[in-house]
Amino acid sequence: MQHLLSNYGRLIRNRRYFPLWLGQLVSNLGDTLHYIALVVWVYQRTGSSLAVAGIVFFEVVPIILLAPVAGVIIDRLPRKAVLVTADVVRAVLVLSLLLTNDQLQVYIVVALFTAASAFFNPAVSATLPTLLDADDLLAANSVSWSTGRFVQIVGSAAALGVINQIGPEAAFVFNALTFLTSAALLLLLPVPQGRPIQARGWRGFLTDARDGLRFTSQDRFVSRLVAVQALASLSVGATSALLVVLAEEHYALPPGGFGSFILAIGVGALLGPVLLGVFVRDYGHPLWLFGPYVVRGIGDVLLAVVTAPPLAWVLLFVYGLNTSSGMVVYQTWVQRRVPDAMRGRVFTWLDVVWNVMKIISLGAGGWLAERAGIEVVYYIGGVMLTLSGVTGLLALRGERLEQFKIADPS
């Protein structure tokens, strides 16, 4: 544990990493308040699980439409400019929620906000390996996730009071300020300029897009990962989006009680990468990629079975614990296996596949929740997610990433 904390401290003191880490930390706090406020806001006004699913639908569609374009831009333009511009645009869009009068306007703002995020999030994932040595990459992903989940805990706790005492509008203002803070910090980031553009104009742009799709579909690791991610997204799209419905209908919690579910996930997600670093010495086995799917799938089924909120908190804690550790390993595998010149396009194509299946899951899940009950959505989703984890283990059977084998610090 002392060795792990020493690594975390060394990374945070790294001037090539600190601005990115701090900017994401502040932004994650605002995002947590914003997310809880937005879903509660819509559900209180409509009382409809389909309306809540509609928010997530409009969060997904722009990624599907723009991700192929975003990936090429991330790999062609200076990544610092992409990151800063996306943060400023998102700040303006979040503030515009204060001017919305109906549900359609909220959906439009959500769609535009997600369009900016379609550039920002893959750009962060693609940029990190250019700032750090290969040996620090896994630790950097871990510290980003752990500290990000810490502020999720703080944000979830704060959301209960903010929503009930002040209103969701305060969360939107705060989130806009965090985006502006992140943009200012990113200006300090020493991001390399990137590769020279060989072919300009639309012809060169389309060539780059085709090259990214070709690599994604032909690389042994990436192509198999895409297939498993598609099945996993089909499983969890509805269960993730409709957690607020589960909290209010199945567990009979008040509107602010949904924040306690996010809090439980956040606590588990905070500890997941830490425990992974303390107890696991070999990250190169597919078990650490796909085992979390199996654990979460079983947990989703149990969430629909139990009715006591404390038991749900335990299950959601485990959900956060294993999902965050699996996500850290997933990020690092992709970052290490994909060349820098191709990384933005691969991450965005992975986003496209994930979100196409998420839309299908949302439509089916919202319809099923209205007619058969939210519990049925979690039964089916949990079983499918378990199967996706098993599929991943079989698809990458024998795959090894020996460079992830961590020497015993003792």
pLDDT for 356-368, tens place per residue?
898 889 889 989 9
Specify the pTM. Answer: 0.75
pLDDT for 232-263, tens place per residue?
999 998 898 788 889 888 998 876 677 788 77
pLDDT for 281-306, tens place per residue?
667 778 888 888 999 999 999 999 99
Q: Is the pLDDT of residue 371 over 80?
A: yes
Handedness of CA 21, 149, 73, 195 (dihedral sign): positive
In the numeric block, the tokens 């991450």 are attached to 347
Handedness of CA 81, 84, 88, 91 (dihedral sign): positive
Question: What residue spans of 249-339 are helical by DSSP H?
Answer: 258-279, 287-305, 309-337
pLDDT for 299-352, tens place per residue?
999 999 999 999 999 999 998 888 888 888 888 888 888 888 888 889 888 888
pLDDT for 77-133, tens place per residue?
888 889 999 999 999 999 988 887 777 888 888 889 988 888 888 888 888 888 887
- Give the total residue count for the chain: 410
pLDDT for 36-48, tens place per residue?
878 777 777 777 7
Mean pLDDT comparison of 17-26, 336-345, 376-385, highest-scoring range: 376-385
CATH class of 2-188+202-404: mainly alpha
Give the pLDDT of residue 199. Answer: 55
Q: What is the Cα Rg of the chain in Å? A: 20
CA distance 87 to 388: 34
Give the pLDDT of residue 410. Answer: 32
CA distance 175 to 263: 18
Give the pLDDT of residue 30. Answer: 85
Torsion angle defined by CA atoms of residues 395, 224, 354 and 304, in that order, rounded to the nearest 10 degrees: 0
